[in-house]
Amino acid sequence: MIATFQRVQKCVMSEKHKRHHITSVQDLVNSNNEGIEKEKKRLQETVYSKLEERVSDIETQLEEIDGKYEKLTSEVSQHGEEWRRKVEIAIQKNKDKINKMRIQHRDTLNKNLDDTKKLIADIKLYISEIEDILKSKEVSKSLSYETEAEKFTHLPSNSKVEVPVFTENVNPDQCSHLFGSLSSLSITTEENGQTTKTEAVSSPRMTQLLEEPQLITSINTGNEYLLHSVTCLNDDEIWTGGSDNIMKLYNLQGKLLKSIRTKSGKSARDIEVTRRGDLVYSDPDTKTVNIVKNEQIQDVIRKQGWKPYNVCITSSEDILVSMVSENGEQAKGTFGPVGITTDSQSQILTADCDNNCIHILDQEGQFLSFIDNGLLKPPWDLCVNTRGNVFVVECCNGNVKKIRYM
How many Å is the Cα radius of gyration of the chain? 41
Give, in order, the Cα–Cα distances in Å from 113 to each of 28, 119, 153, 261: 122, 10, 17, 35
* Cβ count within 10 A of residue 115: 15
Contact 367, 361 (CB under 8 A): yes
**What residues have CB less than 8 Å from 205, skipping those under 6 apart?**
345
Residue 379: the pLDDT is 84
Q: What is the pTM of this model?
A: 0.47
Q: What region, left, alpha or beta, does residue 256 occupy, with left being phi > 0 and alpha being psi -120 to 50 degrees?
A: beta
φ, ψ dihedrals at 298, nearest 5°: -125, 145
With cut-offs at 50, 70 and 90, classify the pLDDT of residue 207.
low
With cut-offs at 50, 70 and 90, classify the pLDDT of residue 357.
confident
CATH homologous superfamily for the domain 214-404: TolB, C-terminal domain (2.120.10.30)
With cut-offs at 50, 70 and 90, classify the pLDDT of residue 176.
low
Strand partners, 371: 358
Q: What is the mean pLDDT of residues 345-359?
A: 83
Q: What is the mean pLDDT of residues 83-101?
A: 91
Q: What is the mean pLDDT of residues 134-141?
A: 85
pLDDT in tens, 234-261: 888 999 988 888 999 999 888 899 999 9
Residue 200: the pLDDT is 54
pLDDT in tens, 263-310: 999 988 889 998 888 999 999 889 999 999 888 999 888 888 888 888
Contact 240, 258 (CB under 8 A): no
Mutual orientation of helices 25-42 and 2-13 as an angle, nearest 10°? Answer: 160
pLDDT in tens, 307-326: 888 888 866 677 877 787 77
Give, in order, the Cα–Cα distances in Å from 257 to each of 154, 295, 306, 335: 33, 14, 33, 34
